[in-house]
Amino acid sequence: MRYVLLPGFSASNKEWAHDLKDYFQQKGLELHIVAWLHWQREKPSFNMYQEVQRVVDTIGDQEVVIIAKSIGTELAAYLISEDLVKTRRLILMGIPSRNSLYAKALSKFDPAKVIVIQNSRDPKGYFVDVKDFIHSINSKIEVVETNSSTHQYPYNELIYRLAN
């Protein structure tokens, strides 16, 4: 089984991703980071379908634990809704929008294998709003509140514990 991190849009997520990878490595697990193609371009633009194909090519037919933040949560929802990967567990953080893609994916997925972590006052989506949205899809999905007013998710121990 593989652990795969689908980080947020901004290149500033690279440092956080590597910190999380190092934490997993200290615990004896390898975390594969998907480095978005636009991180290396002058004008950042996110091509969802190009990134989906890269992730599918990387994962292949292996069972995975997907850890995703922000735009990575949308990509994870797409992968699951289209049955493109075999996902054992799904951790979503900093959900930035409430769209039908999440509903399609999460309605197909065992709620016991999904955990959402959302900062209380995340500027991309407040905890109460995200919790209401997720529970409108399936009230059995666990939504964990973390106390922050940022879109940062430096919760290595929590993420590691929930991924296992």
pLDDT of the residue at 11 = 81
Distances (CA, A) of 145 to 8, 123, 128: 19, 14, 9
Per-residue pLDDT tens digits for 54-82: 999 988 889 999 999 999 999 999 999 99
Q: What is the mean pLDDT of residues 124-152?
A: 96
Q: Does the pLDDT of residue 15 top 70, yes or no?
A: yes
DSSP 15-70: HHHHHHHHHHHHTT--EEE---GGGGSSS----HHHHHHHHHHHHTT-EEEEEEET
User: Helix, strand, or coil here: 111?
Assistant: helix
Cross-strand bridge partners of residue 53 = none
Closest CA to 116 of 153, 78, 88: 153
The rounded mean pLDDT for the chain is 93
Least confident range of 33-42, 90-99, 118-127, 138-147 = 33-42
Q: What is the mean pLDDT of residues 40-58?
A: 83
Cross-strand bridge partners of residue 65 = 3, 89
Angle at 150 between CA 39 and CA 28, to 5 degrees: 65
CATH of the domain at 147: 3.40.50.1820
Distances (CA, A) of 39 to 1, 68, 70, 89: 27, 17, 15, 27
Range of the domain at 20: 2-163
pLDDT of the residue at 117 = 98
Q: What is the mean pLDDT of residues 13-29?
A: 96
Closest CA to 148 of 128, 131, 129, 123: 123
Confidence of residue 5 (pLDDT cuts 50, 70, 90): very high
Q: Does the pLDDT of residue 96 top 70, yes or no?
A: yes
Q: Does the pLDDT of residue 91 top 80, yes or no?
A: yes
Domains of the chain: total:
1
